[in-house]
Amino acid sequence: MTLDDLAFLLSDEGQRWLADVGQMEISPQTHLQIASWLRQKLPRTQAQAVLETVVLRQHAVAKFSRAAEMYFVRAALEQASAEMVAQHRARRFANLGCAQIADLGCGIGGDAIALAAIAEVTGVEWEPVRLAMAQENVRVYGYGDQFHPLQADLHNLTPLADMDAFFFDPARRDGQGRRFFSLAQYRPPLSLIDAWRKVVPDTAVKISPGVNYTELPDDAEVEFVSLGGEMKEGVLWYGHFHSGVSRRATLLPDGHTLTTADLPSEPIPSTEPKAYLYEPDGAVIRAHLVQAVAAQLGANQVDDSIAYLTGETAVATPFARCFAIEDWFPFQLKQLRYYLRERQVGSVTIKKRGSPLEPDKLQRQLRLSGPKENHRFLFLTHVLGEPSVIVATEEMKA
């Protein structure tokens, strides 16, 4: 999409086309037909811009409450923070009293929206279309006067010394869409961000939740954030944002949090499975805070290297899902198949940690023949170093 295409979308005519196409049923089966019809009515690039915007708005509903009015390019939408995650992060800027914030690499404005709700925001972006979209998207939320666009290449831009805080959202994919997992591959890399931090120390950096753990800097608080049980992103907090703990796990939408201050003073030993199995939230696992949950629950890990916990009682916790254990034994396909057949199990949910087995392949190999409603959870894992399967009958609801 070009700036001219975006200008067309923002025009009265463009708005009418977006409204009309937005009412159509767009699916893989109808997409080509609608695209051909649009190309008969509009110039090719405008037709493409209308259809792409409508499709991306449908995808964006999962992230933004006002997606139906917003503008996107696919790659930037994929990288954009979910609205609730951005709002959670913005509260930390608000608590620090930041009045002037630079959103560096603002993309289509996902984070700028939340930041502009609490401060004046300078959005820096090299891509002119993304920057124009950011300005429009912030306006959609009612904070247009708080957002000041600046088209610039961060590699050549002098650090903005008049800011109270920086928020960096570096590109984490290459031109083909492949993810970067190393901080050194980010654009801009962490080395450039470190140079900017010398000017404004109060800085936050969005990172991939799958970042190489050995690359995490010692002088940052690292927060891993999940939303509705799904791991979303990590954040490096520097300067006065650093709360004095090295790692934090935050679970949205409720905002439950664990930190390294919650870890037990001595490691809790691992044991064989007991009556219940706990599956910690992904943010807890990425923050290496499984033992903090174990301490809260009076539970143990089933293996020193595995993030499954076990206990004698079912304790309600936001930090883990709880399952009632029926049995467990060393993994052997024939034994597991016999076990399930004897109990006339007709469906299973397969989970794994530390197992090389492929759930889809195992699902076929089990040859289940019982009634579908007779269901089990299968946890492929290690128990005290031995490849094992834990069979659970149900998830215990808090």
According to DSSP, the residues that pair with 206 across neighbouring strands are 235
SS3 of the chain = CCHHHHHHHHCHHHHHHHHHHHCCCCCCCCHHHHHHHHHHHCCHHHHHHHHHHHHHHHHHCCCCCCHHHCCCCHHHHHHCCCHHHHHHHHHHHHHCCCCEEEEECCCCCHHHHHHHCCCEEEEEECCHHHHHHHHHHHHHCCCHHHEEEEECCCCCCCCCCCCCEEEECCECECCCCCECCCHHHCECCHHHHHHHHCCCCCEEEEECCCCCHHHCCCCCEEEEEEECCEEEEEEEECHHHCCCCCEEEEEECCCEEEEHHHCCCCCCCCCCCCCEEEEECHHHHHCCCHHHHHHHHCCEECCCCCCCEEECCCCCCCCEEEEEEEEEEECCHHHHHHHHHHCCCCEEEEEECCCCCCHHHHHHHHCCCCCCCCEEEEEEEEECCEEEEEEEEEEECC
Angle between helices 128-140 and 3-10 (to 10 degrees): 20
Per-residue confidence (pLDDT) for residue 317, from 0 to 100: 95
* Distance from chain centroid for Cα 72: 18
pLDDT along the chain (398 residues), means of 10: 96 96 89 92 95 96 96 92 96 97 96 98 96 97 97 94 95 73 82 93 93 90 96 96 96 97 96 97 97 97 97 95 97 96 96 94 94 96 97 85
d(CA 149, CA 393): 55
Average pLDDT over all residues of the chain = 94
Q: Please answer whether residues 111 and 85 qualify as being in contact, where contact means their C-beta atoms are separated by less than 8 angstroms.
A: no
Per-residue confidence (pLDDT) for residue 289, from 0 to 100: 98
What tokens does 332 get? 């052997």
Per-residue confidence (pLDDT) for residue 398, from 0 to 100: 58
- With left for phi above 0 and alpha for psi between -120 and 50, is residue 4 left, alpha or beta? alpha
Residue 237 CB partners (closer than 8 Å, separation 6+): 92, 204, 220, 221, 222, 223, 243
Per-residue confidence (pLDDT) for residue 212, from 0 to 100: 85
Only one residue has tokens 């992103």, namely 233
pTM reported for the whole predicted model: 0.92
Q: Please answer whether residues 6 and 129 qualify as being in contact, where contact means their C-beta atoms are separated by less than 8 angstroms.
A: yes
